Structures are given as structure tokens and as C-alpha cells.
Structure 1
Amino acid sequence: MNRYFPLCFLLLVFFSRPAQAQQNTKQIFIQTDKVTLGFTVGKNQKLYQSYLGEKLANSQDNGLLPATRHEAYVPAGTDNLFEPAIRMVHTDGNPSLELRYDKHTTQQQEENVTATAIHLKDPKYPVEVILHFNAFQKENIIKTWTEIRHKEKKPVVLSNFASAMLHFDAPNYWLSQFHGDWAGEMQQQESQLTSGIKIIDSKLGTRAHKYQSPTFLLALDKPAGENHGELIAGTLAWSGNFQFAFELDEQNSLRILAGMNPYASEYRLEPNKPFVTPAFIFTYSRTGKGQASRSFHRWARNYGILDGNKPRLTLLNNWEATFFDFDEKKLVGLFDGAAQLGVDLFLLDDGWFGNKYPRNDAKAGLGDWQENKTKLPSGIGYLVEEAEKKGVKFGIWLEPEMVNPKSELYEKHPDWILKLPNREEHYQRNQLVLDLINPKVQDFMYNLVDDLLTKNPKVAYIKWDSNRSLTNTYSPYLKTEQSKLYIDYVHSLYKVLGRIRQKYPHLPIMLCSGGGGRVDYGALPFFTEFWPSDNTDGLERVKIQWGYSNFFPAIAMSSHVTSWGKQSVKYRTDVAMMGKLGYDIQVSEFNEKDLQFSKQAVANYKRLSDVIWFGDQYRLVSPYDEDRAVLMYVSENKSKAVLFSYNLQTRHRDRFTQIRLEGLDPQKKYMVQETNLYPETKSSFTANGKTYSGDYLMKVGIAVSPTTALTSAVFEIVEKP
């Protein structure tokens, strides 16, 4: 038979035991409404993964699951021949660890969340490893992390510390990973796993996701599509160095290790102090990538991002209109553009600070967070008031983690900066990284934000940037324990963000890192949205935003209309409306029709945004499969939908098939109406203005793609009585 059991019963038949022999075996199940992760305690008291797949309809069948082939969390130093989940050197120098089941607890944290903790102990050493699992019932998401404790007399040394280890048995494995660089983030690449180890990792410290994203899709047997195929989708909630290891052994079994990268990070763990890994978050789907993504989107809105079920602000940013060249008068003039568009907020970007070393370019001033008296003689408060007179709120850009060598901060506190002794400084974007592990630096960063908001309580938005990765990687504060740096830096960042959120729990803050260099569910609980890429070319943004949509919801994805790209303003706007709409453009340079269109587009977006932000997303045609991309959002009650169609670099002879819609109610009637039309144009689509049953739209479909390159369309689909 070519078919195998769901995400693997993980045992070949000759390893299985009769059901009668398993009746007294202890089993532990982590379950959502549709997914089960099962463990079995063997006679040797070791913990084994026995199942990962679709929840069995009859719970009595759980007792039939094969039991003891793949140890759940494999330690190093004993009989393990492959990559371990954990490696520890004890106080006496013994480099081995053995983990046996001790107990487990299950608690209902809330109606929708069940928490399970499985305690494993070494029989010879006072070491405990606790495997934590939170099961989110309705979203079908499992969140797992590891806690390591010991009571030895002196510190032990950890050199491997996986957040999760998962096991699979299938004929074939297909891995989709997401990679890129500045202005080319989240490019999807799929390949078949072969014997040995495939590693996806980062060693960049901060801005760690610049080249590789801490996300993946793993399909079993054959590549999965949007609506077919068996897979898991996984991501690590960590903003620093990460590692995914996919190891295929001689029996074609696959083990996945997910967690912080152990590179240069041996960790001396003191007695009675817990070492807690970041969470690995995953879901399982038997019906393709689309279902996995919708599970992540629902979970993210409820648990993964700040205020994920609340409205967002549309905005106008000044960066591409002015760059560093602005003054008070010019900024106040730009407020008119925000008011004309009808957006909610004006965002002042880089360049507003520094006096001894004015921030007139990227070479100076970073770290000196006082208003530049030449540019802004009346201060931030004046700008806030002037913006409000025009009916818009005011937001501001910060990069708190970084410093220019040409700054007062650098002169006063050289001991606050990450840099190697006896080596010349190495710069990226003419800047260095502050030693965030130092409590004084943490206070400096917190006070920067707190002082700004205390003096200007009407500031309504912050863009938090981080434009470089870690080099010169030496902490003056840590001194002899430099191997803690990569890990403790991220924990320190979260500590500062936690302090800010404790005092300002709902202030909208965008997560930016030179584009999409830090997009993960470790940071996002502190942020309302993220900046996917500095590349806002409408054509290239289609693939970038498509990649992010596998794991992150539209409400969190800031998407701006800018002057990048040679497409029409309509095309760039339609692409931006796929996420959280904003503008970064000189509005005064719009011609009359472009301005008329843009004003109407903002109004349209505000009318449609609830469906885009909170609806279920269905990716209908991938830009990786055709020279077009089509996707739609459907409201929870299936009364409304919004469909986006983008033609890419199509050729004259291209002909596109009709699109079958998804997610609608087959019994309901829907009117299809093209919206976001450019002034003095009419819809050319035959479906425009017509009413269809949901059944027809999903089985027969409609034409939504013309043949012309770089054209786009937005359709509003509304239930008719």
C-alpha cells in the first residue's frame, strides 16, 4: 500500500504490541478539537511519542496506538545515535543525561486552553526536564516549550536545549521553508528531504530573521496544496538565533528539533534556577496549507499578537516624502495629505532627533533621543497638536536598541555597547548595538519610551525599528560569561517590552527590523502589527505578503502604498489592501484622479476592513504556480467576502481559467461587485453586479483575471436576502 496512517503512527508493524499488552500502559494526550499528540510511558519509564495526527473519533481507539519506538525528548550521552534534544554536562563532568517519566499534570487554564506538563527526571542526578504543552481547542494549535531545572551543588552546562522534538514515519517528506534578504523577505522554497540533516537556522542575534524565517511547512508523502495533503505548520516564538533540524535516519524516520540555536551559546545553569526555552507553535492539517494557515490566523488574533481582535489605524508615513530632509513647517504641511486621504494617523519617521550630532543622515545622532531644535523648535507636542487640528493622530519612529558612534550616548557610555575588546568596531548602517543585557541600558530604553509618552501623552503610535544584526558580539556587562549573550539579549528585550506594555497596554506599536528581520510570535505579543519588508513595490510585495500569510494574519501585516514600483497607484493600493493599509508617499504629487481614487480607496478599505482583518483567508491561486495571485477573505458568518486578484508579469497569450471561490455558504445567495475602481472606469468583468448561489461560486466559479499584466481587481461579495 502506498498510503500510511495520519502523520504516522510512528511504528512499523513489527514494533507494535497487541492492544491487550497496552491496557495498563500510561498514555498522555494533548488534544484540540481536531488534533491529537499522544505519548506513552514505556516499561522502562521512558516517554515515547506514539501519535500525531487527526483526533480519533472514538477515544477508546487511543489504547490501540503503537507505543514505544521514538523517545519523545532524546538526551545526549547514553544510547542515542542521532541529534539530541538536550545535552548537559553535570557538575562532576559527566556529559550524559537519562530522562524517565515522573508525573504529569493537566489543567484547564481557560475554557479554550488546556495546559499539560510532563515531568521527566534523571534517575542518578537531581535534574528535571518539564515538557509543557498548551492545547488551543478551537484553533487546533499546540504550543510547546521545555523547562530545565537541577539541584546539583554547582552550575551545570547546557549545550543543546530544544523547545520541541517531533517524530514522523512516512514514505517521503516535503519541506517548505521561507528565506530571503533585505527587500526580499519570505520567499517560499520547497524541497524533498533526503537522508541526513537539513538545518534552517540563524546566527544573526538581533534582526535574526533576515535570511531565514523561523517558520516551515512539512508535508507527508507528497507535496501539499492549499486544500489537499497532510502536513504540519510550525514556527518558533523567538526573536534571536534559532535552529530547525530535520534529521532523516536509516529507517526513513524523521525527527524534527526546534529551538534556540546552540551556536556559541553554552549556558551555565545555576542550581534551582529554571532554564525555559521559547515556545514552538504548530498545527496539523489533513486538508492542506490553507487550513493550517487559518488555524494560525485565528490563534494569532486571539493569543499571538496584541489586541488581535481590535481595529487598526490607517496611516500616512513621511519617510519616502522627505527622508531626513524636513523641518517643522514641512511636516505640518504633510498633515494635509493625511487629512485629504482620510487616514487615521500621521507617522513621523527617522531624523527628528539629535542636537550635538543632528540626525540628518544615518551616520549620526542615533541614541540621542531629544527633538532636534533646528528641525523641531516647538517640539513633538506641537506636532501632535497640529496633527489633531487636521483630524489625524500622531505617531513616531524609534530605534531604541541601536547607537551611532557619532552620538553623545556613545561618548558618555562606551561601556553600554556591544563591541569586542582589542578589535576594531564593525558597523552596519553606521551603527552599533546597545548591550541590552545591562540593566542600566534596559532602564535607558524603557525611560526613552516612557519619557516620550509622559511628555506627549497624545502620541498614538510608535514604529519600533532595529536595523542591524549582531557583530562585535561581546558584552562588557557579562564579562566572563559571553556564551549567554545571544540568549540573554532576547530575554532582556522582552523584559523591556514587558515593562512598556505594563504601563501602556494598548498603545499601537509596529514591529519593524530593517523590514521583516524580526517577525515572530515571541515579539508579536508586544506589538499590534509588523512591517513585512522595506520593499513596497506592488509586484514584489505580492509574493512577500503571500509568504507571510502562511503564518500571520492580515490584521498584523502593515502594507503601504509608496512610490516604489512602476505599477499604477490602483495596483499598489489593491496589493496594500490585502493587509493593514497605510501610505508612505508624497500626497501632494498625486494627480487629481490618483488623489480621488486614493481617498475612495481609504473609504472602501474602512468599509471592508472587518472582513479582511477578522475573516478567514483562502488562497485561491498561488503566484508560485501562475502569473497571477488570487485570494479572498470570508466573514465568520459567511455573509460577506472580499476577493483580491493580481496579475503579475503576464504575457499576451496568457489565458486564465475561472476561479472557484471558497468558504462561502452554498445555500446563500451572493452579489458580486467590483470595487476600488479607478475614476471614470467601469468594471469589465461579466460577474460584476450579478447574484450567484454560494454553491455555484464554489463549484463553477467566476472570471477574475484579465490578460493584461500588472492589473488588479477587488471584489466585494455580499449576501443577498
Structure 2
Amino acid sequence: MGRLRFNMGLNPETFRWNLQPGKSFHSPECLMVYSKAGLGEMSRKFHCIVRNRIVPERFRDEPCPILLNSWEASYFDVTHSKIVSLSGAAAKLGIEMIVLDDGWFANRNDATSSLGDWKPDRKKFPFGIRGVAHQVEGEGLKFGIWIEPEMVSIDSELYRAHPEWCLHVPGREIHLGRNQLVLDLTRKEVVDGIYSLIKELIESSKSVSYIKWDMNRHLTEVYSTALQPEEQGEVEHRYVMALYGMHRRLSKDFPDIRIEGCSGGGGRFDLGMLYFIPQIWCSDNTDAMARLRIQHGTSLLYPAQCVGSHYSVVPNHVTQLWTRSRTRAFVAMCGTFGYELDPTLVSEKESSQIMQHIQVFKSIRNIIHKGNLYRLWSPFNTGFCSWLYVRDHSSSNSMHSTGQEAVVFIFNNTDNFWSSLVPRLRLRGLKPDAKYKILEPIPNTLNRIPANLQVVRTIKPMFLMGEKVVFMHGSTLMNAGIPVHFLTRDDCFMLHLVEVPEQEIDLN
């Protein structure tokens, strides 16, 4: 018999609580699952709990709008006219929301100033947030906005008025992180002051339906001048409880606003946060090949519907790597699915591809977001990656009364694929005796010339299974598997499987 030990609870390294007589302390809840079938079953159990018990009930069955975020399109250089221009182009592609990212508030032209001053820059937005939001809505799109309410810049009206509102150790030099300081949320006046600014922003715009809530530096010099020396071990815990409290107030005052948590990406992933907000931005690295590992690891605990993932331009702004449009789209589809680009600069060809991606995603997103995930190939163990989502409609409220649907994504991220055998991809989670119709909604546009191994583009669609529609047994798919032939380092495939009755099969 082996032994298993694990520790749960608050990290004692920086935590101390001065519990007074007659007072109480509520420790955090701990969520555990048991799996007798490895990490895959563990993940599926966690996903089920997160989807059905953790995320706010009002968002459990409401998909995130397909959005375009302005950050990689414009960075700090956002203006009324530019956002309106982005909106018009985005609407033509089928995008459903515009999110105005950093740079919209007074004197915010780079990362060195103005955090805490949540008032629109009248030079950039002469009609205020209400004016630009109104025009975005005129294009048929929803409107969202970026804020970083837990932070303050030294060069800001807020800091000049209340320098004591930041976390700092009295008598010691204050150190900046990303040119900013962290506000002391253990102080009620700080929380109330920041919340009133957020509330005013939302109410004055009359159109905010989405907030990207960012947090771009770690808590350092964790000391509150509002607490006694013996209470300083309580600061981090009080900070988080106050943050939850702000989100509780937002949920009550503005229940229809969807909030995405963010902290340089995945630093904000936390079941406590997901109790108030339905999704978290996975990483500021939007490169599709890098995202394979990032999203694969995130999937250990968190379902796809909670994982913020966007399609961005090439070369990627973070890695400077080029990746095919379909690959960027397929990776983003394994999350909330959105865009980080300027649609006014997109070519006619890529615009057509984006419209196709959006149309296909809408047809399969409920399978991805509600289905059971099977990680078939790990990018940490091989140069390949594959994720399979299986949804049993007989146990859901789907329009399909019975049967399964599945979507499998297959990615390459290695150079030796052309000279080495790629293993057959064996699916899992299907019904062995069931028959499945296999479709490839977005077939490949590349082919290899056998005579010289040259990879060329082709007008004729190239289907991984050799045909537009293929029928196979679940047992065959899970045991014999699917032969996979990659043509480029960033090659990929997506197959849609639908369980069908025996009589529907036509082999002619």
C-alpha cells in the first residue's frame, strides 16, 4: 500500500491572523475530486463542477460574444474615430462585440500614468464613453471596456490626492512594478472610492455589457498603514476578500455585465474569482503555437468556456512567429474565441477566412464549451497536440434528443513530421457500437506533390479522411484510430463527429 499526503489551506509563509476573543475566521473552501482513471477523468470532473456549480448561473448557458479587443489593434493609440472604424469592419466579419482596451482614460498614452483616474480622455473621446459606445451599438455590436481598478500610477490625480491608499512600508522606498503601485483594498475608503468610479463609468456610458478587469503586477511591500503591526499578516487575505466583495457588489448592481478576469494572462485563474466572473484571459501570449502548451496546461482544471483565447495577427506581436490562419482560429476555438487585430487592415482573403471561422465556431461551440474533454496528444510529451470534446445530447437540453456529437482538434508543432511516422490518433469517450458521420467543416488547402515532396496550395479541398463525409464505428475510431498526415509545422485539422442511426449510413 502506498501513501498519499497533501496539504490544504492558506499558505502559512505570509499569513498570520490575529484572532481576538469572541471573533471568528472563515477559512477558504477546498474543492477536491477523486479519479480512478488518471488526470483526464480528474479534469472532466473539475470541468463539470466549474461549469455547473462555480461560474455565475446567469452565464452558464450564455456563450461569450465573439469579440474584438482593441489592444493588439491599437495599443494605447485608441480614439473615438478609430474604435468606430474597427466596429464597422468587425461587424462585416460577423464579430459581435468591441472591447475598448487600455488607453481610453485621461492622459493615458503609455504605461507610465493615469491608473486610478477612470475618466475618459476628452481629446481621444470627445463624446465620452457613451458617445463611442452608442456608435458601436449602431453597428449592431455590443460594447465592452478595459479597467485595472486595483492599481494606481504615481502620475495620477488619485495618487496625488491619496498617496496613503497604496500598499507600502512606511519609511521605506516605494518600488514600482510596470510603472504602478497596488491599492490597499483592506481600507474601506479605498474600495468604496474605486467602486464609485467604476459604477459612475458604467452608468454614464449606459452601454457597457462587458468588462475586462486587469491586474498587471504582483503584490509586493504588502503592508497596510490602516492596520496595526500585529495585523500585517492579514493583509493579503483581507485584500482578496475585499476584491471578492467588489465583484459581489458589481454582480448585484449590474448582473448582466460579463466580466473577464486578467492578470498578464493566467495569473488570475482562481475558483474564487470564477464564482463571480465567468471567464479569465489565459495569457498575453497570443501566439497559437505557444498557446498549445498554455491552454493544454490550463485545461487540467478549467473548462474551455472559461479560458480567454483570441486569434491574432502574424507575425505575432509577442513571438514574431508566423502561423496559418486556420491554426490560429482552431486554437482560439478551444476557448472563448475572439480577435486581437485591426480588421480594417485584414486582406480580402483573410476576411473570408475569418467569416468562415466564425460561422463554423457558432455551430460547434456548445460541444466545445459543454462537452467532456479528452486530451489525446500532449504538446509536453510530443510535437503534436490533440483535444477532443464529446457531448452526449441525451443528458442535455440540446435540440438533439439523443446521440453524441464530438469535435476533435489536431495540431502539429514539430519539424520532423515529414520524415517520421505520425501515430494514429485514437479517439476516446465515444460509444463503441455507435455509428458516426465524420465531417471536416474547414478542409485543408495544402497538398504535397509526391514526386518532389513540395507542399503547394490547392483550390480543391483536401480532406484528412479522404472524403467530405465518412462514416465509422466508435470502436474503430477508438481502437484503429485516424491516420494523420501533417504537411507543415503549423498544420492542423478539425473534425466534427455526429452520431447517426444505422439507416442513415450510405456508403455509395
Judging changes above 3 Å, is the alpha-carbon distance between structure 1 residues 699 and 264 closer, same or farther for their aligned structure 2 residues? closer
Aligned 8 A contact 1:687 1:702 in 2: no
Matched, 1:560 2:310: yes
Aligned 8 A contact 1:560 1:576 in 2: yes
- Cross-structure match for 2:91: 339
Matches within 5 A, 1:215-614: 253-306=3-56, 307-354=59-106, 358-480=107-229, 481-563=231-313, 564=316, 565-614=321-370
Aligned 8 A contact 2:209 2:256 in 1: no
Deviation, structure 1 residue 410: 0.2
Deviation, structure 1 residue 590: 1.9
- Cross-structure match for 2:410: 645
- Cross-structure match for 1:657: 423
Deviations 1:179-223 (A, max 9, x none): xxxxxxxxxxxxxxxxxxxxxxxxxxxxxxxxxxxxxxxxxxxxx
Aligned-residue CA RMSD (Å): 1.5
Deviations 1:525-570 (A, max 9, x none): 1111101110011101000000010100000011101122311121
State how far apart, in whole Å, the 2-side matches of 1:308 and 1:658 are. 35
Deviations 1:572-599 (A, max 9, x none): 1111111110001122222221110111
Aligned 8 A contact 1:394 1:461 in 2: yes
Opposite residue 410 of structure 2, the aligned amino acid is S
State how far apart, in whole Å, the 2-side matches of 1:644 and 1:682 are. 18
State how far apart, in whole Å, the 1-side matches of 2:153 and 2:278 are. 28
Q: Secondary structure in 2 aligned to 1:353?
A: coil
Q: Secondary structure in 2 aligned to 1:467?
A: coil
Structure 2: where are the runs of 5+ without partners?
Answer: 394-402, 446-458, 502-508
Aligned 8 A contact 1:347 1:397 in 2: yes
Opposite residue 472 of structure 2, the aligned amino acid is Y
State how far apart, in whole Å, the 2-side matches of 1:264 and 1:713 are. 47
Deviations 1:245-274 (A, max 9, x none): xxxxxxxx4431122111232211022222
- Structure possessing the higher relative contact order (Cα contacts under 8 Å, 6 or more residues apart): 2
Q: Secondary structure in 2 aligned to 1:268?
A: coil
Structure with bigger strand share is 1
Structure with bigger helix share is 2
Opposite residue 283 of structure 1, the aligned amino acid is V
Identity %: 39
Give the aligned length: 468
Deviation, structure 1 residue 602: 0.6
Q: Secondary structure in 2 aligned to 1:580?
A: coil
Deviations 1:372-403 (A, max 9, x none): 01000101111111111111100000100000
Opposite residue 347 of structure 2, the aligned amino acid is N
Matches within 5 A, 1:142-181: 170=2
State how far apart, in whole Å, the 2-side matches of 1:572 and 1:694 are. 29
Q: Secondary structure in 2 aligned to 1:257?
A: coil
Deviation, structure 1 residue 695: 2.1
Matched, 1:720 2:500: yes
Q: Secondary structure in 1 aligned to 2:126?
A: coil
- Cross-structure match for 2:479: 699
State how far apart, in whole Å, the 2-side matches of 1:341 and 1:277 are. 48
Q: Which moved more, 1:543-552 or 1:501-510?
A: 501-510
Deviation, structure 1 residue 404: 0.2
Q: Which moved more, 1:686-695 or 1:337-346?
A: 686-695
Structure 1: where are the runs of 5+ without partners?
Answer: 5-169, 171-252
Matches within 5 A, 1:40-51: none
Q: TM-score, normalised by structure 2?
A: 0.89
Aligned 8 A contact 1:395 1:459 in 2: yes
State how far apart, in whole Å, the 1-side matches of 2:306 and 2:205 are. 26
Judging changes above 3 Å, is the alpha-carbon distance between structure 1 residues 369 and 678 closer, same or farther for their aligned structure 2 residues? farther
State which structure, 1 or 2, has the greater radius of gyration over its C-alpha atoms: 1
- Cross-structure match for 1:227: none
Q: Secondary structure in 2 aligned to 1:259?
A: coil
Deviations 1:250-299 (A, max 9, x none): xxx44311221112322110222221221221111111111111101111
Aligned 8 A contact 1:293 1:549 in 2: yes
